[in-house]
Amino acid sequence: AYFLFQALRQISQRTISTASRRQFGNRVPEHQKLFQEDNGLPVHLKGGAKDSLLYRTTAGLTAFGTMYALYYLLLSSMPKKPN
């Protein structure tokens, strides 16, 4: 039983380690070149369209949330009408 366990452990470690090496390469140099490039863009938009979409969505939700909070602050500051 111990020998079988050791064999299975070796096989699983070997397949996991070789699969991960093939799938994921070291892309740090590519990203460094992209983010250090002087193209006039702020760093939070250098990732392309996905970064731009995420930035605009976040800014839109922030603006909406601020307006929503100010509206309810104004609404709650008004005196209630007697029934």
Contact status, residue 63 vs residue 54, Cβ threshold 8 Å = no
Q: What is the pLDDT along the chain (83 residues), one digit of tens a residue?
A: 777 778 777 777 765 555 555 678 899 999 899 899 998 989 888 988 999 999 999 999 999 999 999 999 999 999 888 87
- How many folded domains does the chain comprise? 1
Looking at the domain assignment, is residue 50 inside a domain?
A: yes
Looking at the domain assignment, is residue 6 inside a domain?
A: no
Looking at the domain assignment, is residue 83 inside a domain?
A: no
Q: What pLDDT, on the 0 to 100 scale, is given for residue 61?
A: 98
Looking at the domain assignment, is residue 26 inside a domain?
A: no
Q: Range of 57's domain?
A: 45-78
- Look up the pTM and report it: 0.58
Looking at the domain assignment, is residue 71 inside a domain?
A: yes
Looking at the domain assignment, is residue 53 inside a domain?
A: yes
Looking at the domain assignment, is residue 74 inside a domain?
A: yes
- How far is Cα 56 from Cα 59, in angstroms, rounded to an integer? 5
